Structure 1
Amino acid sequence: MLSGEAWRELRGQGAIRTFRERSVMLRQGSPGTHLLALTDGLAKVVCREPDGVVTWLAFRGPGDLLGEVSVFHGTRRTAEVVALTPCTAVVLEADRFRRYIEQHGLVMDLMRQALSRMRESDAHRTELLTLPLVVRLARTILRLTELTAPGARPDPVRLTGLSQEEIAQATGVTRNAVITGLQRLRESGAVETARRVIVIKDMRVLRDWATAAPGAAPS
């Protein structure tokens, strides 16, 4: 992540654009002519395979850059970014962004961010192989909470815009398995759910689930 000052300056380099819920913010296969600095809202990054399979890659929130890899490499986009909620972002033209980053000595900052995202992806793949569903589900909800309400969070935290299918993609299970997992979290008092809404009622209990040992359940 860029520092607060660098982020504010970078936001001043482009034009503000809004995106409707469920709209495509960056399309897979398009040229890297620009990137987005997300200032409000929640988005998902997915890869669409030729056979129609959609692979979830990441969730992104305010303070994240979107599409910077294709801008740096001058290649077509290898993934698609979709707004899960209404989003606001600053559109940064590729050439202007590259000049700004080089002139302000921010190349290393972006490299650190890229490495951090690689570690995040590696950790996620490990979780899919080693952790029980409810633990993965709790960790996913916690990540979304950090993205949508960083720092001082309201109580309770309300997450909107997520379908059960998208949660299933993020946790590597079926939609029915997600329904079962959410039921366990509801019974423990950690969350309440409605259509495309998750309300975190007890953050402590949710964190206990996220750190529970395999085969164990929070007391």
Structure 2
Amino acid sequence: MPRTFPERSVMLRQGSAGTHLLALTEGLAKVVCREPGGAVTWLAFRGPGDLLGEVSVFHGTLRTAEVVALTSCTAVVLEAERFRRFIEQRGLVMDLMRQALSRLQESDAHRTELLTLPLVTRLARALLRLVELTAPGDRPEVVRLTGLSQEEIAQATGVTRNAVISGLQLLRASGAVETARRTIVVKNMQVLRDWATTGPGAAARPLLPTPAPR
């Protein structure tokens, strides 16, 4: 059954039982891990077509991360046992494993970027990933990204909020983006891609992770 989640609401809570998962059909969400001391670690952004909470459902474990709606989100709620039967009956276990592997590769690539690439390059890549989630398969000239705070962008790029402000200033000056409160408008995709492909070894690596089979 479909369910709507207001902006900034918790869609799946860390530590809860995997009684169900969500198939995101509309909106943008973030996945974070909350440490015992209160620190928050950014893990991923998710968009339409992504499954949320499938690992705990498939393995019968407690949720190890929290999913928060960045914008108003709509998702189909899938009960755990019915989902497991559906996957097994249709022989989709390998597809699910391939998706999990793709997400691990995405995480590894992100960690490598944090260690090797300049701030503005990481920032440009993060924005391009958000564009891909917001308008998958499209080639829009202008994309409006909403619901993001500078603190969340800082978490996703592994820098301070002040560093994000400086990076956005460079992107604005180049004509790649415009910014407002919780809004980034990508105005020139090619300029943003140029920023994203600078840095040591960047040109040799894929800009965006290959979408997992669905």
Q: TM-score, normalised to structure 1's length?
A: 0.90
Distance 1:40 1:104 in 2: 26
What residue is the counterpart of 2:79 in the other structure?
Answer: 93
**Counterpart pick for 1:184 among 161, 170, 179:** 170
Gaps of 5+ in 2: 201-214
Question: What CA RMSD, in Å, does the superposition of the two structures yield over aligned residues?
Answer: 0.7
Counterpart of 1:48, as a letter, is R
User: Once the 2 structures are TM-superposed, how far is the Cα of residue 166 of structure 1 from its aligned partner?
Assistant: 0.1
What residue is the counterpart of 1:74 in the other structure?
Answer: 60
SS state at 1:183 partner: helix
**Counterpart pick for 1:53 among 24, 39, 43:** 39
Superposed CA deviations along residues 95-142 of structure 1, whole A, max 9, x for unmatched, are 000000111111110100000000000000000000000000000000
Over 3 Å counting, the alpha-carbon distance change for 1:66 and 1:105 in structure 2 is same
What residue is the counterpart of 2:97 in the other structure?
Answer: 111
Counterpart of 2:190, as a letter, is R
What residue is the counterpart of 1:30 in the other structure?
Answer: 16
% identity of equivalent residues: 85
**Counterpart pick for 2:111 among 119, 125, 128:** 125
Counterpart of 1:88, as a letter, is T
SS state at 1:206 partner: helix
Distance 2:63 2:123 in 1: 29
SS state at 1:29 partner: coil
Extract structure 1 runs of 4+ deviating beyond 3 A: none
Distance 2:60 2:136 in 1: 32
What residue is the counterpart of 2:203 in the other structure?
Answer: none
Gaps of 5+ in 1: 1-14, 215-219
Counterpart of 2:33, as a letter, is C
